[in-house]
Structure 1
Amino acid sequence: MKKVFIVLIAGLTIIGSGLFVGNLFFSKEEEKEPSTIATTEELKPELFLDIEILEPNQEESQQETTINELYRGELDFQHADPTKPYLITVQFTDKEKREFLGPDKQPLRLEKEVTLGKEQGIAFLAVKGNKPMLAHIQKLKDVQVSASLKEKE
């Protein structure tokens, strides 16, 4: 009985191994080619403006620098109305103060409405761009960034 059992296990092992090896070498070609999915959606160049309002005695923002960051700066303000809306404008200009145009032929300018919430302090700005916008701005020469804070009319 032991011999029959050993022969049966050895036979099943040989048959299983043969089927496994047969599947590896004689499988359909379609299954061997990896399937890939390609997307061709183009990213539209974009700029983003992050604003953090700091206390006057606070030295630095808690925001960490990121790879896609183009500019970091601060705007000090005093005697502001904490409840009124203000407009923060960031522009990319050259040495003669002419605005640069983006890939879409629109001025490279960001505007964001904020309520400061205090009479005095610091508005911390971080301008970020996606990869196509970073590539566009890197091609420009003598880029300067100007930021302003005005009461919204």
Structure 2
Amino acid sequence: MATIRLFDNADAAAVAGLIERCLRDVNSRDYPSEVIERMCAHFTAQRIKELAVQRQMFVAESDGIAGTVSRDGNKVYTMFVHPRAAGRGIGRQLMRHIESLAATDGYDHMETGASITGHGFYHRLGYVDVRTTETEFGFNYILRRDLP
């Protein structure tokens, strides 16, 4: 199990590095290199700090920062787990953490946009497809999960 805590600005470089590693090592299987480069350029340490002001951002620590997720109300953003930590339940732990916070805040469901790469992960957590979209970063699924 990982320790989930609020993001701190001192985490920005590590989170940006984690995201870039995920994009290059995992998402690159599903997206062309120009999209991966655009995403990597978007998720700089400075941009991560800016996003953390706009949303609640969390990190999972397990031998360093192993994952991150952020939320704005009942919307999920920037969900990434380091490839070396994949399959250990860290993504599920991060998601259940923010789902619990959203339920406590009175929301009855969560919504997220998912890459082709992350689509199956969300299905395994009980999310269902609502629609698909095209974004500046390519094809995207919009999914929803009712909260208990």
TM-score by length of 1: 0.22
TM-score by length of 2: 0.22
Question: Which protein, 1 or 2, shows the higher relative CO under an 8 Å CA cutoff with sep ≥ 6?
Answer: 1
Higher helix proportion (structure 1 or 2): 2
Largest Rg, 1 or 2: 1
